[in-house]
Structure 1
Amino acid sequence: MAATPSNVASLPRTASAPDSPEERFDRCLAVVLQQEGGFVNDPQDPGGATNMGITRDVLSAFRDRAVTVDEVRDLSRAEAREIYRARYWTPMRCAELPPGVDLGVFDFGVNAGPSRAVKLLQKAVGVMADGSIGPITLAAARALEAERLIASFSEARLAYYRSLDGFARFGRGWANRTEAVRMAALRMAGTPSRAAA
């Protein structure tokens, strides 16, 4: 089920204590999995056979061998979680980003690739966009107000999608996903969710 403004608001949030790194990962992963859904094999999607957002190529690389479409279909949630942590969350250093910003970067990295997500973050925070998160990028992200960074990152993400040839076919879904993730990110950051301007 795709996240919508009505069900994103129901995602749990701990007001009394900050989430642990593991809780933050699980909260962000829940949003990503809502967006990704289950098994699909759209011939017009360059990702091909995909389950929970994990493509056949990604699963093959993770298992270090070629996999079949049936193996993609049978992917367990536990293995998908391991893949998301190993290939996206950890390399993009999402646990070190402010709450909410972590979700935006994580989700876009899943959808468009980690390097592209990191470069978009780097442009949004005003540092050199080299696709590698280090102390300068992290410090710049932490120095900005989360609500503004989430907004600028979401706007840049949507602009990227609009530049793609596939926007006519997939654009509405990409725009809806961007908005749902923006709203969930604002909630995680502890700021009110407002409709896009």
Structure 2
Amino acid sequence: MSDFDKAFERTIKFEGGLSCHKDDKGGITKFGISSSSYPNLDITNLTIDKAKEIYRKDFWNKLKLDQIQFPLNALIFDFTVHSGQNRAVSSLQEILSISKDGIIGHTTLQAIKNKSEQNLKGLCIEYQHKRTLFILNLILSKQSYWDSFGRGWINRMVQSSNWIEQQFIYVTS
């Protein structure tokens, strides 16, 4: 299974089916694809295959995630789907101590390579920690976020942290 397929399979479990929640700025949303981001797309009739195609083209490929080692690429993908490219990439760039522009270009790819060669697991944990702090601050900023999304978002953060640990369990015979 490709890195993209593994990341997509993991993320889509959190994104769910059709919804239109009053506190969700995305409007009508299905499989995490929102009408505010794709105003010309018939969200209601969106298929899982079309959603996967959108995620591959507009998220995975755009972010050059095939050039980043698994599982970090899957974490970046999930953060981007959940909170947007600028937030996800800028958070990573801050950890890497490079200029934040929200774009994965040559400088970001090189910094990821350098840091992940030293300690990929540590980079993944630090990135997830940064994301979790962002989500907690967001939840605490508005009561309706907690009421509507808090438990689900916290569950997603806990599951993501546990998932990172599972990716680094080495079985020896």
**Range class of TM-score, shorter chain:** 0.7 to 0.9
Which residue in the other structure is 1:168 paired with?
Answer: 146
> In the aligned structure 1, how far is the partner of 2:124 from the partner of 2:151?
20
Matched residues, percent identical? Answer: 28
Alignment of 1:116-135 (within 5 A): 116-135=87-106
Q: Does 1:192 align with 2:163?
A: no
Alignment of 1:30-179 (within 5 A): 30-60=9-39, 65=40, 67=41, 71-144=42-115, 145-164=119-138, 165-166=141-142, 167-169=145-147, 170-179=149-158
Q: Which amino acid aligns with 1:51?
A: K
> In the aligned structure 1, how far is the partner of 2:169 from the partner of 2:21?
36
**Number of aligned residues:** 162
Give the CA deviation at 1:181: 2.5
Contact 1:89 1:95 survives alignment (8 Å) = yes
Gaps of 5+ in 1: 1-18
Contact 1:100 1:186 survives alignment (8 Å) = no
Give the CA deviation at 1:89: 1.0
> In the aligned structure 1, how far is the partner of 2:158 from the partner of 2:60?
20
CA RMSD, Structure 1 to Structure 2 (Å): 1.9
> In the aligned structure 2, how far is the partner of 1:44 from the partner of 1:88?
24
Give the CA deviation at 1:183: 3.1
Q: 1:182 to 1:139 in 2, by over 3 A?
A: farther
> In the aligned structure 1, how far is the partner of 2:155 from the partner of 2:98?
28
Q: Which runs of 4+ in 1 moved over 4 A?
A: none
Contact 2:125 2:164 survives alignment (8 Å) = no
TM-score (norm 2): 0.85
> In the aligned structure 2, how far is the partner of 1:101 from the partner of 1:29?
13
Contact 2:92 2:127 survives alignment (8 Å) = yes
Q: Which amino acid aligns with 2:72?
A: V
> In the aligned structure 1, how far is the partner of 2:35 from the partner of 2:164?
28
Q: Which amino acid aligns with 1:181?
A: S
TM-score (norm 1): 0.75
Give the CA deviation at 1:139: 1.8
Task: Give the 3-state SS of the residue equivalent to 1:58 in structure 2.
Answer: coil
> In the aligned structure 2, how far is the partner of 1:171 from the partner of 1:138?
32
> In the aligned structure 2, how far is the partner of 1:192 from the partner of 1:174?
25
